[in-house]
A and B are shown apart, each in its own frame.
Chain A
């Protein structure tokens, strides 16, 4: 009975979404206040029924109701309870329901936290969100109903894929989806503004915190995914340029460009059309990502639940959303363009460079991801694009991005003197060149050009951010200003500052781990010793070991540096009781400056030998530390007091404009 209730709740949610998409929007055009005022309650109602549907499915999982097909496919009585919860989004139908639920949460949040927005604006935003919800609810109900029953009822479920039975992956999809779906808010604001024909600084100010919050979730989601792939897949890599990873990275690149572009639109009134285009792109890329992951058109190492017929539906939806919003853009954008002028040397210019480069990177990733499809469609053969291509693209373009990132924060809006910039920044520039030269030539330690480039760029980034901070504090009266800024109103500068430092930390981590990391495949007999980067790995054989729902062979590695024993690692080779599929659980000794990483391949020969893979990963943690810093930077920026207090002051003129539109 409960699953039918859930199904019914989804149908009601669809009905509400239909009303939500039409009535408030209509009301906003002919000025009917009661119609517009329906927007907020509708968003809340939408969320209520989605939560109800979600709770029904959750109940089916927790009570092992295998009469529900999706539960039978994803869960198992032996599964630990926490993974019964995360099994809910372990497959296609459930993750789609999570997607829709997130959409409901964002919609209700916009309705609840934007009391200061003019009514026509908010009703249009919520209507646009209703349209997106219609698409996804139809998709769920027509092609992927999670509440479908199965008869005869199986005794036991098929179990959750063992790779997904992991705390990192339990929270990775919700974070990622919060990010993906969060861009629907930026999208809805952009479409609402296009519909109203008025794009101004106020619009950018309303849209900015929402976009930043979505970006924070996406940043955390991507970092978690990378961390999970690193320790769980047992390949020791942190990024594979896999289509599924690219699917999350493209919206991130577009979203990063968007939050910078919104800054210009809010502060200077420039880049308006461009900002709208980015908002449309960021959300379209999120949809495209969903399409790529769900349709199975691309061979992916993590091809989850693929089904071509579902792909067709998403493709159609994608065409409607992208086609529709771009047509609206083409029709309306000419009337909203124009805005603040700026000189060649100005902060706007550097932000423009940043935007163009980020957009170029997003396009390149898109091209690389879709190239196999393009080639096949054109009859040029079946290809795959190797990850060296993606690396080459990023290494070629990112340095310019980092140069602009160093220049931007110290440059004045509208107009600046090149001489002033040179006076401010010549020391960081000289020092970075020095680092580049020293590391490239290997005078201090064995370096090469890529190490020199990476460390030189991060030096440049850190020093220029320090200069920008010093300049800001000098103008505001010393360290006391720092405390004051952080305590009340101007946190956004420090948010930007922290996120930029995060980028520098990322470059250090990525450069060092790819230049000095090592990977060794070897065959080890019990008692054998192998040395990597000054660490001695002693293999003590593998023993059987039983877990709650799996059996494992558990290896023991004792690791020494010099004569000192550092740690003992226990990598495992597991087979789950519900299915024969084996899984590698790596043994990792994490550290701030290096990780030691061992994984078991397979037993070889009959003397207890194992195929073993040993990794030495210097500075690999810095990659995820960077993700944390960027997310914290985002949080600081969002908590800036101006988003709460200043809203009222811009409300009146903007509201008047919208009401007339």
Chain B
């Protein structure tokens, strides 16, 4: 082969490789991304019924309940306008607390309960996942809530932060 042909072969191989990688990346992405929805969006049936998504908001005070035996725990997640019940089996992250922000990843059951596979909690008084903060701000702006809580929490997003925690 001449040098030019060789170079063409190499370039051709590189293009085929890049194309294959890009195709693989995009196809695989479709099945691995999870969208974020607020409780209001879930109640408005905007969230997919058959696909994993993330639900975020504040954990309502006084709603965290452990089952008598086993590790199932239920709690309400709210954006101050709407509330969705979440059920999770396993160990919650250290920083999971009533009255604070949390994001759960899982599926919506036919009974309207969100079955979480993973719970991500904020980690200290000053950090809030950006999506949750937006959710609270939106609900607040629409005047759906009189709670000054939402605004207060939303304002805290710019504070200093440290690690959050994940439970799987």
Contact = CB atoms under 8 A, between A and B. Distances in A.
Interface string A294-319: 00100111111111100000000000
B131 A382 contact: yes
A521 B163 contact: no
Nearest to A297: B130
B117 to A, nearest CB: 11
B66 A604 contact: yes
Contacts of B24: 392-393, 396
Given A352-B10, A522-B71, A381 B36 contact: yes
A582 B94 contact: yes
A227 to B, nearest CB: 16
A344 B21 contact: no
A584 B69 CA distance: 22
A523 interface: yes
Contacts of A91: 160
A304 B163 contact: yes
B94 A584 contact: yes
A642 interface: no
Interface in B71-113: 71, 89-92, 94-95, 103
B34 A581 contact: no
Given A299-B129, A360-B17, A601 B32 contact: no
Given A344-B6, A521-B90, A383 B36 contact: yes
Nearest to A90: B162
A389 B163 contact: no
A352 B77 CA distance: 52
A389 B32 contact: yes
B148 interface: no
A393 B28 contact: yes
A476 interface: no
B166 A301 contact: yes
B1 interface: yes
B124 A581 contact: yes
B165 A303 contact: no
B165 A299 contact: no
Contacts of A360: 17-18, 21
A360 B20 CA distance: 11
Contacts, number: 136
Nearest to A385: B33
Decide if the interface of chain B is mainly helix, strand, loop or mixed.
mixed
A583 interface: yes
Interface residues of A, number: 61
A388 interface: yes
Given A360-B18, A396-B24, A384 B54 contact: yes
A493 interface: no
A163 B103 CA distance: 21
A523 B34 contact: no
Contacts of A522: 71
Nearest to A244: B163
Interface in A357-401: 360, 364, 367-368, 371, 375, 381-386, 388-389, 392-393, 396-397
Contacts of A344: 1, 6, 9-10
B114 interface: no
A604 B71 contact: yes
Contacts of A296: 130, 161
Contact of A611 (B71, B129, B162): B71
B42 interface: no
Contacts of B130: 296, 299
A371 B33 contact: yes
Interface of A: 73, 91-92, 161, 163-164, 233-235, 240, 296, 299-308, 341, 343-344, 349, 352, 356, 360, 364, 367-368, 371, 375, 381-386, 388-389, 392-393, 396-397, 519, 521-523, 579, 581-584, 601-602, 604-605, 611-613
15 contacts: A240-B166, A296-B161, A299-B103, A301-B120, A301-B164, A301-B166, A303-B164, A360-B18, A371-B29, A393-B24, A521-B91, A522-B71, A581-B124, A582-B94, A604-B71
Given A235-B167, A521-B90, A602-B91, 17 more contacts: A73-B160, A233-B163, A301-B165, A301-B166, A302-B162, A304-B162, A352-B10, A360-B17, A360-B18, A371-B33, A381-B35, A389-B29, A519-B168, A521-B91, A523-B70, A581-B124, A583-B94
Interface of B: 1, 3, 6, 9-10, 14, 17-18, 21, 24-25, 28-29, 32-36, 54, 66, 68-71, 89-92, 94-95, 103, 120, 123-124, 127, 129-131, 158, 160-168
